[in-house]
Each structure stands twice: as structure tokens, then as C-alpha cells.
Amino acid sequence: MNFKNIVNEAPVQIKKEFIYRKHKKDSLIIHPHEQNNHLYILTTGIAEVYRQTYSGTMVSLYIYDSYSCFGEIEIFNDNIKTLGVIAKQNCETIAIHKTKVYEWMKIDFNFNFYIIKQLASKLILSSDTAARLSLLTVKDRILLSMHNHYKIGDLDNLTKQILSSEVCAPIRSLNRSIAQCINEGFINYKGKKFSINSIEEIEKYLENFLLN
């Protein structure tokens, strides 16, 4: 049974607790670092999960489309704070308080099974992401970071200092790898601004590393 059917066939006592919300494009659905007590079901639109670096730039982590959910990790662990979730289109969501999520899980095996699969999937994805990133060279991490900034539209704000923090490399090592990327024709760096020559070439190079 797909998730849309599970939601549509939710028990009456659960459905009456659904909180229906609309979110305009580019608005925040969940603010980063807040306490979250709700499961969110995205019924319409596309949403993006992002992590904010110490310098205030945003790095895209996940993309959700209609009839997917987020917030399920936080409702099982009070110590976990949220990542930011932003509406990339006009979106509609259903918010369900965690007490009703627990109740729904008790009485509906299909919903319970879906939530468990979601948690397992994100655990595997997080472990796989960490393992893959640990194997990347500084050059790989630079191109991956620049790809993410390009996709969320803030490449103009990317500085060497921010890039150094994101790729976990000192400036000297960073400069060597930036020069390599320039020599290989992936990027340019002029007037303290980065630019990408061909996003298609970078995506082809990074096809085994891209996480979204």
C-alpha cells in the first residue's frame, strides 16, 4: 500500500486531528534548530531540507515530493533539533502531533511499517553519506560543495573561507585543489567570485557522490 493510500485511509479518530497547512514558495515549513513535536506529511509540492553552516550559508541535503513525510526522527528523540525545511514550490502539508502518531502506529500496521522503513532508510542514508564523504578528496568535496551552492542559488556568496569550513581543509590545501579544478576546466575564480563552466560536467564527474 502506498503512503497516499495509508494517509487517505487513516482511522477517523486520527484524521480528525490532522492539521492542514499551506506554505508559499520559499517559505519555511520547519525552522532550523527548533523543537519539533509533529510529523509532517507533504501532500502537494516539493520541499527541501537544508543545513545551515556556521557562516549562515545553506547546503541542500534532501528533496521531498508529494506524499512523503519528514519530522519523524525528532518525534522519537527529544534531544534532536530540526533541520530547516523550505517550500520550493507552493506546498500543502498535514501536521500530526506525536501522540497521535504513536496512536496511529499502534492501530495501523501499514502506517507503522512505513514509519519504521523511513527511519531505517534515513539511518542507512546518513551512514552511507558519512562513509562516502570520508573517502572524497579535497577536490571532490570542493566540487560537491559548489554543486550544492549552485543548485540552491547562492554560489555568488561562496568564499574561500566558507568553502574551507565546508570541505574541512586548510586554505593552503584548498588553494591547490581549487587550482586543479580550474586547470581541469570545471570552475573559474575571478574577483573573489566562483563560477561554474558547466554544471553538466561537474554532475557527470560527481555522479557517484551526489546525495540528492
Decide if 109 contacts 65 (C-beta within 8 A): no
**Would 210 be classed as within a structural domain?**
no
Q: Which domain holds residue 10?
A: 3-133
Residue at 142: amino acid letter: I
Same domain for 87 and 150? no
Specify the pLDDT at position 105.
96
Domain boundary among 82, 106, 133: 133
Is 192 domain-assigned? yes
Q: Give the CA distances from residue 100 to residues 38, 42, 111, 143, 155, in Å, rounded to whole numbers and listed in that order.
A: 9, 17, 12, 43, 42
Q: Which of 133, 156, 178 is the last residue of a domain?
A: 133
For residue 188, what pLDDT is reported? 95
Nearest to 88, CA basis, from 69, 71, 70, 64: 64
Return the CATH number at 189.
Answer: 1.10.10.10
Domains: count for the chain? 2
Question: Is there a single domain that holds both residue 128 and residue 180?
Answer: no
CA dihedral over 117, 121, 124, 126, signed as positive or negative: negative
pLDDT of residue 13: 96
| CA 52/CA 17 separation, integer angstroms | 32
Q: Domain with 79 in it: what CATH number?
A: 2.60.120.10
Note down pLDDT in tens along the chain; length 212 residues.
799 999 999 999 999 999 999 999 989 999 877 888 999 999 999 998 876 544 444 556 778 999 999 999 889 987 777 888 989 899 999 999 999 999 999 999 999 999 999 888 877 766 665 556 567 788 988 998 888 788 767 788 888 988 887 787 888 999 999 999 999 999 999 999 999 999 999 988 887 665 44
**Is residue 143 domain-shared with residue 111, that is, in the same domain?**
no
Domain boundary among 115, 133, 151: 133
**In this structure, are 32 and 51 located in the same domain?**
yes
Name the H helices within the chain. 3-8, 12-15, 98-107, 109-135, 138-152, 160-167, 171-183, 199-205
131 vs 206: CA distance, rounded Å: 15
163: Cβ contacts below 8 Å, ≥ 6 apart: 142, 145, 146, 174
**Is 211 part of any domain?**
no
Q: Are residues 122 and 168 in the same domain?
A: no
| 94 and 143 assigned to the same domain | no
Domain contains 184: yes
* pLDDT of 84: 84
